[in-house]
Chain A
Amino acid sequence: MRITAEVKRETRERILAAARKLFGTRGYAQTSTRDLALEASIATGTLFNYFPSKEALAMTLIEAGLIKGDEGYLERRRGGEDLGEDLFAHIAAGLRELESYRPFLGEVIETALSPFSRSSVTQKGEDVRVRHLDRVARILDKHGLRDALGFVSIHLYWTLYLGVLAFWSKDDSPAQADTLVVLDESLQLYVTSIERAEAETVDSKAVDSETM
């Protein structure tokens, strides 16, 4: 029997809806692919035709949220923000869209986004990382720091970002107000570090040109 594109799309949506429901109610670790298949009324084997792993499924949800967050960031951007505020607005916009995934976000980060799990990182996790860092590079470019995203800077940013996500996933302060503080402090730290590095680079170039 030939499965139409429409049926494929519906099945995919059903699996994603099942994941949203079960990850949110049972928890990420407590939900198996078998549970997900059962909830979506499909065979377990069929699920793997759509998503290669549970991690990939979770990251698909998160990727969709972050894409929507990125759109929200672009809509709300006023144009006069300094670098720290601009980066803050970008991450905050993503958090808005991930709000319903907050209960299981920590577990997903541990498995699919952790810097310690390179070998098991899903392609979706890598896609999320690349897409996010691409936006960060554009923001830095806008603020005249085109060359600031070297490998050290990337690692520093990504570590801080994952740290904020991890903190947010467990933040029990009212309306997660503490996360706003951690996010702002983290970004000020990052901005200070890259601006200082940039200034040193400019200084050393000036010295080089004088000595030539």
Chain B
Amino acid sequence: MDPKIAQLVAEMPADLRAPAPAAADTGLQEMLAALAHRPAPASRLLRMWCLGSLQAKVAAAYLVAWVRGGFADEERKTRLKSEAHLKAALQLLGSMGYLRGALMKAGQTLASYPQVAPREFVDTLQALHFEAPPMHYSLVREHLRNSLGGDPEELFARFDTTAFAAASLGQVHRARLKTGEEVAVKVQYPNMARTIRADFANARALFQPMRFLKDWANLMENCAEIERVFLLETDYRNELRNAEKVRALVADLDEIVVPRMFPDFSTEHVLTMELLAGQHPAQFMASSPDQSACDRHGTQIWRVYSRLLSAGRTFHADPNPGNYLCLPDGRLGLLDFGCVRECDESEWELMLLGMRAFAQGGNTLREAIQRSALLSDEELAEEGRMALLESVCEWGWLPLRADEPFDFGDPEYLEKGVRIMGDLLRHRYTRTCPIFTWMNRVDYGLRAILFQLKARVNVCRIGDEEWKRAGFEME
């Protein structure tokens, strides 16, 4: 071994020098236990330090595996690689659990793409959807008292002291109103808006070396847009309004359930809604459902997406499995309405152009790509770039072109999308209008959830029905 590398490895922290699966499991439990009850640190410097430390830890885990792997047989190499993935995932989980905020959302997004990240990463990151570290009850009580004007014991007939679910920005407690309704009370971690602002300030600082690139202004514009939407998400009154809007839009869809909201028990940082009993997609799939049940829920998810977009010019910009509940009677429950994005007039006009491009191709497609990717005429003439951007569109439209149920459970399809996205990133063809930053997230996020459900969905028929219902004729 190169003595310098040997020296480097020798200087690694002990837990990274000798990774072992059993120790890693213990490490996860210990880390989760240590993370419990820690509110998000809002100091920018502290967060920068945490970020730097995180990168160092992940890099160290991979370096150790790489060095050891060079001297191991194949089987051992595979094992070491798994250990390094797991160790890195643990370190990532540790830092994200502590930092929460936008970083946790990034972690959740990554976990939605099982084909992108190594399996060990995904398994560990999946925990973030429902198992973020909790606030202890005394903190929740003071927070609720400050927000609602009374102790939970006074305001509710019953209030569970332990959270039953966690969200990226808060945690959820079961309770019963004095009027008898069973409810879920979502309590936001204190300091969340400031935490998100600090995250974005850090992100901007980390991006600084790129400031001389020509896409710098676009990067900053997208950064500001994402920060704006995430900050909107920290105001639960906004989520309550979104929920009511979604309820009105899907009112005639008997298979879709939007929980009733309770404004008198909701504030900027507390949201009280009807408690729905059901299973998130991963739990649902673990119960070995038959194919028709998977298809039904996949169809419901796509129906809601099409309805919100066609009739409400709106979409859920944070599609993750934690937002859906498969109810025992076969209906679909919608849970999270914080990150709902509405198109303005110019964005909507661009959306409709995209619809025409889907139907007509040719020059309409080129115009749609030029406007959504903000290309100059010179860039429009770059064949390689255009071919890649067209392949993104075609990948997204493939399920829509099949006038039969499309099999989203086919791993080839999702992998192809991820490869195309990787090519775009490698070539730095990432410039886009903010609305399409979200749409890309939705395109990949929804497909990842449908992949998880192994659903076969006739999206072509659903799209036709919904757009016609909204008064649009597909050309």
> A residues touching B (Cβ–Cβ < 8 Å)?
76, 78, 81-82, 84-86, 88-89, 92, 96, 173-178, 180-181, 184-185, 188
Chain A positions within 8 Å of B40 at CB level: 181
A68 to chain B, nearest CB (A): 15
B146 touches A184 (CB 8 A): no
B190 touches A84 (CB 8 A): no
Interface centre among B139, B142, B145, B190 (most CB of A within 10 A): B142
B37 touches A175 (CB 8 A): no
CA distance A53 to B124 in the complex (A): 61
Take A175-B146, A177-B143, A180-B143 as given contacts and tell me if A81 and B138 are in contact as well, using a CB distance cutoff of 8 Å: yes
A177 touches B146 (CB 8 A): yes
A86 to chain B, nearest CB (A): 8
Q: B278 at interface (Cβ–Cβ under 8 A)?
A: no
B189 to chain A, nearest CB (A): 8
Chain B, range 127-148, C-beta contacts under 8 Å to A: 136-139, 141-143, 145-147
Q: B269 at interface (Cβ–Cβ under 8 A)?
A: yes
Take A177-B190, A177-B191, A181-B42 as given contacts and tell me if A81 and B136 are in contact as well, using a CB distance cutoff of 8 Å: yes
B136 touches A180 (CB 8 A): no
Digit string of B369-383 for contact with A (CB within 8 Å is 1, else 0)? 000000000000000
Q: B39 at interface (Cβ–Cβ under 8 A)?
A: yes
A188 touches B143 (CB 8 A): no
Q: B268 at interface (Cβ–Cβ under 8 A)?
A: yes
Q: Which of B38, B137, B146, B269 contacts A188 (CB 8 A)?
A: B38
Chain B positions within 8 Å of A96 at CB level: 145
Q: Across the interface, name the chain A residue whose C-beta is closest to B151.
A: A76
Interface centre among B39, B194, B268 (most CB of A within 10 A): B39
Q: Which of B37, B38, B191 contacts A85 (CB 8 A)?
A: B37
B138 touches A85 (CB 8 A): yes
CA distance A173 to B38 in the complex (A): 19
Q: B330 at interface (Cβ–Cβ under 8 A)?
A: no
Instruction: Give the interface size class of chain B.
Output: 20 to 34
A78 touches B136 (CB 8 A): no
Chain A positions within 8 Å of B161 at CB level: 78
Q: Which of A76, A176, A184 contacts B139 (CB 8 A)?
A: A184
Q: B41 at interface (Cβ–Cβ under 8 A)?
A: yes
B139 touches A88 (CB 8 A): yes
B38 to chain A, nearest CB (A): 6
Q: Which of A174, A175, A185 contacts B38 (CB 8 A)?
A: A185
Digit string of B171-213 for contact with A (CB within 8 Å is 1, else 0)? 0000000000000000000110010000000000000000000
CA distance A188 to B135 in the complex (A): 12
Digit string of B19-44 for contact with A (CB within 8 Å is 1, else 0)? 00000000000000000011111100
Write 30 A-B pairs (CB below 8 A) sorted by A numbering: A76-B141, A78-B137, A78-B161, A81-B137, A84-B136, A85-B37, A85-B136, A85-B137, A85-B139, A86-B138, A92-B142, A96-B145, A173-B191, A174-B268, A175-B146, A175-B147, A177-B190, A177-B191, A178-B190, A180-B39, A180-B146, A181-B40, A181-B190, A181-B191, A184-B39, A184-B136, A184-B139, A185-B39, A185-B41, A188-B37
Chain B positions within 8 Å of A176 at CB level: 146
CA distance A72 to B268 in the complex (A): 27
CA distance A174 to B42 in the complex (A): 15
B150 to chain A, nearest CB (A): 12
Chain B positions within 8 Å of A86 at CB level: 138
A181 touches B39 (CB 8 A): yes
Chain A positions within 8 Å of B141 at CB level: 76, 92
Interface centre among B42, B136, B194 (most CB of A within 10 A): B136
B143 touches A88 (CB 8 A): no
